[in-house]
Structure 1
Amino acid sequence: MPQNPFASLEDYIALPRIDAVALSPDGTRAVLTVATLNKDKTGYDRALWEVPAAGGGTPRRLTRSAKGEQGAAFTANGDLLFVSGRPDAEGDGEDEAAQLWLLPAAGGEARAITRLAGGVSGIEAVADAASVAVLSADLLPSADSFEADAKLRAERKKRKLSAILHTTYPVRYWDHDLGPAEPHLLSLELGDLADTIGSLAASDTAEDEPDATTPYPASLPRPRDLTPAPGRTADTAGTALTPDGRTLIAAMRFPEGRAERFAIVSIDVASGEHATLFEERSTYFEGPAISHDGSLIAYVRATFSDPTGPADQELWVAGIDGAAPRRLAEGWDRWPADVTFAHDDTALIVTADQDGRGPVFRVPLDGGAPVQLTTDDHAYSNVSVDRATGALVALRSSWMVPPHPVRIDPDGTVTALATPAPLPAPAGTMTEVETTAEDGARVRGWLLLPEGADAASPAPLLLWIHGGPLNSWNAWSWRWNPQLALARGYAVLLPDPALSTGYGLDFIARGWNSWGVKPYTDLMSITDEVVARADIDETKTAAMGGSFGGYMANWVAGHTDRFRAIVTHASLWALDQFAGTTDSSSYWQEIFTPEAMVENSPHRYVENISTPLLVIHGDRDYRVPIGESLRLWSELNEHFGEDDGSTVHRFLYFPDENHWVLKPQHAVVWYETVFGFLGEHVHGTPAPTVAGLG
């Protein structure tokens, strides 16, 4: 078998990865955020690289620090903003929180332009024609100033306090605790930034007084708090600044009992005054974008879903003051993302899942039908508009190629841009497969075949079920990567069963309030179609999935013995237990009837399981709490454990990992354990000892 980066897990985790792309205001430069494996192979360092946005040229590295950089955004005059925890020569020590940095377009070194005790969380928005930026940052709720926040943080650190008193729901999110600090939106006037020459010692005398509070540096522009006493309203679903920097449009979070809704709020940057433009009970208003002339707002509106069916995600446009709202592309039941205005403000540019791809669309403001701009087998993200030419810069990927920067001309021509992260050669081929489900629906997916698979040498099949469940197998994932299975001789089936996006509301509704039944029959139908191929060995099959894919893996295990092994990662097991312990419990109780919650719970079928299971979970997974796998493991042992305590099943546990298991050294252990388990049961080879597991 030819060697490639996917044949070795060490080589795989060392591949550089492009996280994001930002386009300069003049459309000539694209800045890439590139992640590379650090020296001890336990994490990724990020740096910013510049490439010509027109194509050609050579990548040029812009930043280099031990803490790395991310969140790049351009100012109106072409300076580059980014967030980094790198040491600041004018700061207070090595253990500093991440701050906002500025790299001048005219040349010179980057400098920190904030000094907040809790650091900067990210860049929310930057004005197109003014020197204004809006940041997100966490501040302690009882602090009435940045100085008071710093003092309170110092006190908690000195006393080693970690306790948090909650008065609202939720208390945690995905992989981190919420609180005690609250998210704020802070505006920053970059025109107030100036370099000074002088000693810093004179301004630091307050540090010698034990009860004094160090003032915010006078040499830096002082941020303005646009959301005082926010609670969690500044956990936004998108923000945008008018070109003149005077108005921030934010999709702000408001509680609705245990649930949450988002409303479009206009914030005057000078006064901090708030005006709600769009708000409805049980409705999300998200992803605001502002036209280049500052006169229009675009946004996505979606009502809460309920057990009767999924709600549509509607594309709307209105005046900057909320006047004359109107829906665009009515009847187009694709779910828009990456919403931005075309260069001439006559249309919106959006991405959306579409038939196993993620194309770019142009949605006219005059009510015309959406026009698909890209027609390849890729998914697009991080789309920026060249305001001079109308061309687009974006990241593009598929299951055969990782994210890489491209330019999309107005006629749809796609040109790959230079990249410092060379694209690895795939370990096989990708072909589209489909079948007709029992209810007559078309069900499709991607089949990845390893090199050399043919009728004379058929490949074992790995059914890989996607998470979500509102998702599609259409874009590269560094975490769930079938290329690694291809390199080990497996064919990989990536199907989009009922509940998948990109096929319309009716296709999603087929599995609504019926998670187990309809997706399961879709998965079995397309598996039947694929194992009938001459290049697939139908006697050697396995299944795996994570999150909802793990839920389906558990459901599959309780309903068929056709697979030789099943891997279930971060999986839902007992829905009644899960609904109350996940980080967003109200959603699950909104979309299921009580009867369906019971009927679709995999734990009811534990006694039917005859296939060896590899259970995997991280303890810092708050979306699917560890209790799901603990109960699954307990019940597997209750029903199938031997008298001596042994079992054919396995449980791989990560005490300090989250829903995805992201640390590279743990990713290696994950794949080694998975492939060892599959080899043992699919091929009958003894599972090797995984280095580091003792």
Structure 2
Amino acid sequence: MVTTPFDALDDYIALPRVEAVAVAPDGARAVLTVATLTKDATGYERSLWEVPATGDGTPRRLTRSAKGEAGAAFLPSGDLLFVSARPDVEAADGEDAGQLWLLPAAGGEARPVTRLAGGVSGIAGVAEAAERLVLAAGLLPSAETLEDDARLRAERTKRKVSAILHDTYPVRHWDHDLGPDEPHLLSLDLDGLDDTLAAVADEEAAAEGADDLGADADRPEPYPASLPRPRDLTPHPGRTGENAGTALTPDGTTLVAALLVSTGLDGRYRLVSIDVATGAHTVLRDESGVDLTAPAISHDGTTLAYVRSVKSTPAAPTAQELWVSSIDGSSPRRIAAEWDRWPSGIQFDHDDRALIVTADSDGRGPVFRIGLDDGAVDQITHDDFTYTDVHVDRRTGDLVALRSSWIAAPHPVRIARDGAVTVLATPAPAPEVPGTITEVETTAADGARVRGWLLLPQGAAAETPAPLLLWIHGGPLNSWNAWSWRWNPNLAVARGYAVLLPDPALSTGYGLDFIARGWNSWGAAPFTDLMSITDVVEARPDIDETRTAAMGGSFGGYMANWVAGHTDRFRAIVTHASLWALDQFAGTTDHAGYWQSIFTPEAMLENSPHRAVADIRTPLLVIHGDRDYRVPIGESLRLWAELMEHHGNDDGTTEHRFLYFPDENHWVLKPQHAVVWYDTVFAFLGEHLRGDAPTRPAGLG
């Protein structure tokens, strides 16, 4: 039997991973962000690699530091920008916040470009025709200047204060606390950026002059004179500094940002134009009850594209519409109004006559070209892959992107105008997978087509049918259409399981009506769709219908809980980061307003899995991380308590299991914990589907 890296978890987590791609202005070279396992196998470090964007040549490593590099972007000159917490020899000892660095195209060492006390969050935009960019960074609310921010942070550190005072909502997001700093957008001019001895000497003289005046704890230390000074484009933003996309005009004079307008528990995004020279804000588009997001600007700087979404209500989901206008927001119009897909990325084609758009579609993630004049939708790619990180080559109109599927990890490719795909060189080639993939589908009772992917292990046949694992995706507005390093079915396939990855009602890529089938009623069509497609797969001769299990995380965990209370057809169920009591959950999640806007109170109760706890007949493996703020740990704590109350043995034991991670989040990301996660899941499945003896995986005592 052929062995693959998926046969051993230690081999799997050690696989290098391509996470992002950036393309040089001349279109001739691309830079990949590659993550590799640290020596102690408890994290990943990232480095930048250059590869030819034409399909030939070999990868060349550009960066190497213990702290790693990410967020790569090119300046018009070809110089490469990235964010790293690598040591800056001119900074004070102990400063380890991520800063912006520049690697010259002409060669030489990378040099720091910022020295912000709180570091740089990322690059929000780079001008195509000017040495100007916009950064995202956090500044403390009382800070009037960069120097104030440094002083206030030093004071908090000295006094060991970690408390955060809020006067807005929310206070948490996914896996991290919001605050005490607020999100800002800072412009940065790099014209004339030089390493000169004179600049360093001036900075040292200024520091010596400050020392001569005597120590003053209230006097801020000056921002380095040898570095370009960032200009704050969003002073005192509160939470409104959060954005849902930014775009910088080619000349770098104007930033268009989708900025948050807070409205109690909820909010909306509006489009704001910011004059980079003066910082003046002009509202371009703002509609009550509507989100305006993902701005993109044409290469000639005259046209703005964006996504318009009317807020959903419990009555129905709403479309994500493509709109274009003049750069000043005038003459807005919708394009491709009949195209029933949700854009996941938009940018202008090389000649500004069309938009290049990615979207989920029928279990894939193709690239589309949509004409601005006629709104005609041309699907460029027609394979079984999902494309992300798409970049336009301004010279040729070709595209450079990452693509993946469930049998191919993300890898860089070049897409010609006619859709022909050329695989580019990579230091992290896609690993060989242990089985095969096939498409399956059924017709639901209401006539809807329900499809999914079925991964089969080697040797699955009528004589040796494979046990089946129904794996339900999260979201719920999601699709099983792209590789995931965290939720990887190939690990189960390598252990002899067939894995069904279905897209039930609420899944994206099938149109608004398909989503609406499960809206405000998660326990209805999504559940029956899952059971219907499982019926079809179980009828296959290469599947053992007597040995089946179900599992899922987040919304998939919700569905796993719902399945547990409404059928006993499965031998085991794994429920990760799951919603259990919807009435309780709505007020404890990090964004309560959203959940209150998509459910009626009646439906929230009717569709809550906890109401069927007494009917559960299947062993459950409950998994949760305490740093999960999207689905707080209270969901699994209540689930576990109620399982024990209704199904615990008299001696206090139970056939159910609870795997708890005190320092993990919604996904459980640390490599060593991912190993424990899979070891525990496979031990649980082996016990109930294969009759294996109960085991306690290594590391759990």
TM-score by length of 2: 0.98
Structure 2 Cα separation of the partners of residues 281 and 125 of structure 1: 27
Q: Which residues of 2 match residues 166-177 of structure 1 at below 5 A?
A: 166-177=166-177
Letter of the structure 2 residue corresponding to residue 410 of structure 1: R
Contact 1:406 1:415 in 2 (8 A): yes
Structure 2 CA distance for aligned equivalents of residues 79 and 641 of structure 1: 63
Q: Which amino acid in the other structure matches residue 188 of structure 2?
A: L
Secondary structure in structure 2 of the residue aligned to 1:232: helix
- Asked if the contact 1:499–1:509 (Cα under 8 Å) also holds between the matched residues in 2, the reply is yes
Within 5 Å, give how 1:263-342 maps onto structure 2: 263-342=270-349
Distance apart, 1:235 and its partner CA: 1.0
For 1:532 and 1:158, locate their aligned partners in 2 and report how far apart those are by CA, in whole Å.
66
The 1-side partners of 2:691 and 2:553 are apart by 24
- Structure 2 Cα separation of the partners of residues 77 and 234 of structure 1: 30
Q: Which residue of structure 2 aligns with residue 204 of structure 1?
A: 207
Alignment-mate amino acid for residue 9 of structure 2? L
> Structure 2 CA distance, aligned partners of 1:202 and 1:270?
29
Task: Provide the rounded CA distance (Å) in 2 between the counterparts of 1:599 and 1:555.
Answer: 11
Contact 1:121 1:135 in 2 (8 A): yes
Matched residue, 2:428 = 421
Deviation readout 1:471-520 (Å, 9 max, x if unpaired): 00000000000000000000000000000000000000000010011100
1:127-138, aligned counterparts within 5 Å? Answer: 127-138=127-138
Please report the RMSD computed on the Cα atoms of aligned residues, expressed in angstroms. 0.9
How far apart, in 1, do the equivalents of 2:515 and 2:356 lie? 24
Deviation at 1:210, TM superposition (A): 4.9
1:266 and 1:274 in contact (8 A); partners too: yes
**Aligned to 1:503, which of 503, 510, 528?**
510
Larger CA deviation: 126-135 vs 210-219:
210-219
Displacement after TM superposition at 1:594 (Å):
1.1
Determine the C-alpha separation between the residues in 1 that align with 2:95 and 2:236. Answer: 28
> Displacement of 1:256 after TM fit?
1.6
Letter in 2 for 1:119: G
Q: Structure 2 CA distance, aligned partners of 1:234 and 1:469?
A: 27
Paired residue for 1:633? Answer: 640
Amino acid at match of 1:59: P
Matched, 1:352 2:355: no
Would the aligned equivalents of 2:34 and 2:47 in 1 still touch at CA under 8 Å? yes
Distance in 2 between residues matched to 1:609 and 1:39, nearest whole Å: 44
Once the two structures are superposed, residues 135-184 of structure 1 have per-residue CA deviations (whole angstroms, 9 ceiling, x without a partner) of: 00000000101111101000100111011111011000000001110010
How far does the alpha carbon of each residue in 1:212-240 deviate from its partner, in whole angstroms, 9 at most, with x for none?
Answer: 42100001110000000111112110101
Note if 1:179 corresponds to 2:167. no
**Distance in 2, Cα, partners of 1:204 & 1:491:** 66
| Matches of 1:483 and 1:167, distance apart in 2 | 46
Rounded Cα–Cα distance in structure 2 between residues aligned with 1:94 and 1:78? 32
The answer to whether the aligner puts 1:386 opposite 2:393 as a matched pair is yes
- For 1:153 and 1:267, the matched residues in 2 are separated by 28
Q: Secondary structure at the match of 2:500?
A: strand
- Paired letter, 1:123: I
Contact 2:168 2:239 (C-alpha < 8 Å) held by counterparts: no
Task: State whether structure 2 residue 226 is matched by structure 1 residue 219.
Answer: yes
Shift of 1:673: 0.2
Q: Specify the code of the residue in structure 2 equivalent to 1:448.
A: L
Verify: 1:606 aligned to 2:609, yes or no.
no
Unpaired runs of at least 5, structure 1: none
- Matched residues in 2 for 1:535 and 1:687: separation? 27
- Amino acid in the other structure paired with 2:696: T
Unaligned ranges ≥5, structure 2: none
Instruction: Say whether residues 1:480 and 2:487 are aligned partners.
Output: yes
2:96 matched to 1:93? no
For 1:374, the aligned partner's letter is T
- Give the match's secondary structure for 1:580: coil
Render the CA deviation track for 1:510-551: whole Å, top value 9, x for unaligned: 000100111000000000000000000000000000000000
| CA shift for structure 1 position 687 | 2.9
Distance 2:602 2:181 in 1: 39
Partner Cα distance (1:313, 1:85) in 2: 37
Residues 637-662 of structure 1 deviation map (CA, whole Å, 9 limit, x = unaligned): 00011121100000000001000000
Equivalents in 1 of 2:240, 2:19: separation in Å? 27
Tell me how far 1:94 sits from its aligned partner. 3.8
Report the Cα offset of residue 2 of structure 1.
2.3
> 2:546 — aligned with what?
539
Q: Distance in 1 between matches of 2:555 and 2:278?
A: 45
Structure 2 counterpart of 1:528, which letter? D
Cα distance, 1:369 vs. partner?
2.1
- Residue 201 of structure 1 and its aligned partner are, at CA, apart by 4.5
- Matched residue, 1:528: 535
Whether the 8 Å CA contact 1:184–1:230 is kept in 2: the answer is yes
How far residue 347 of structure 1 moved from its aligned partner, in angstroms, is: 0.2
Q: Contact between 1:192 and 1:221, CA under 8 Å: does it hold in 2? A: no
2:264 aligned partner:
257
* Corresponding residue of 1:566: 573
Partner amino acid, structure 1, of 2:181: A
The structure 1 residue matched to 2:695, chosen from 685, 688, 693, is 688
Amino acid at match of 2:569: R
Name the SS for the 2:340 alignment partner: coil
Choose the corresponding residue for 1:593, options 596, 600, 625.
Answer: 600
Match of 2:466 among 459, 467, 476: 459
CA contact (8 A) 1:613 1:650 kept: yes
Aligned pairs, number: 694
Q: Give the conservation status (yes or no) of the 8 Å contact 2:47–2:64.
A: yes
Shift of 1:204: 3.3
- The within-5 A match list for 1:89-168 is 89-168=89-168
Measured in 1, the distance between the counterparts of 2:102 and 2:94 equals 19
Following superposition of structure 1 onto structure 2, how do residues 402-441 of structure 1 map, counting pairs within 5 Å? Answer: 402-441=409-448
Contact 2:399 2:416 in 1 (8 A): yes
Residue in 2 that maps onto 1:59? 59
Aligned residue identity for 1:209: A
CA deviation map 1:283-306 (0-9, x unaligned): 110000000000000000001100
Inter-partner Cα distance in structure 2 for 1:202 and 1:672: 59
Structure 2 distance, partners of 1:611, 1:277, is: 55
Q: Which residue of 2 aligns with 1:445?
A: 452
Task: Name whichever of 93-102 and 388-397 sits farther off.
Answer: 93-102
List, as ranges, runs of 4+ consecutive aligned residues in structure 1 with deviation greater than 6 Å: none
- Aligned-partner residue type, residue 331 of structure 2: A
AA in 2 matched with 1:576: D
Structure 2 residue 561 is the aligned partner of structure 1 residue 554: yes
